[in-house]
Structure 1
Amino acid sequence: MRRILLLGTVLLLLGIAATASAQGSPEAPVSAAQTGGTSPWVLVLIGAAAGAVVGALTGLARRRRAERVGREERGDPG
């Protein structure tokens, strides 16, 4: 279930990043200023969401590992 949720979140973030990316005009001169593009705030939100997902998964793994080590030290079978 968590893998499906993680995969869905990653796909959503990639979709947001793909639709927010700029498509410059091929006829525009090189010196012309690009308008549009990915807003820095969109990038901040994508980074924050990705950080939250990674942090949650890391925290869950750390908690499981600590519980397992605690059970092994107490001699509980599980």
Structure 2
Amino acid sequence: MNSKDAMKVLVMLAVAVAVVASYCYARVDLGMTLAQVDQALEQWLSKASQITILIWGQIIVAAIAGLAYKVWRHHRNLSTNNV
């Protein structure tokens, strides 16, 4: 296992620990019932999915814009070479 794979495993473990710690904090420190925790989790997942959709939309737009720029630059270079 190289260092990149080890780092991925550590990040996944950190996320799992953060989820468990957040659940324990909500249940014990905030005194939330299981239904309240479930409701908060559903709200968070809804927001997370909206943010994920927004990010992927921006990535797609950036990829299309980058491709359009490459095509434009290629055509511009062809037209300046023919002059």
The TM-score normalised by the length of structure 1 is: 0.49
Q: Which has the larger helix fraction?
A: 2
With normalisation by structure 2, the TM-score equals: 0.47
- Asked which structure has the greater CA Rg, the reply is 2
Higher relative contact order (CA 8 A, sep 6+): 1
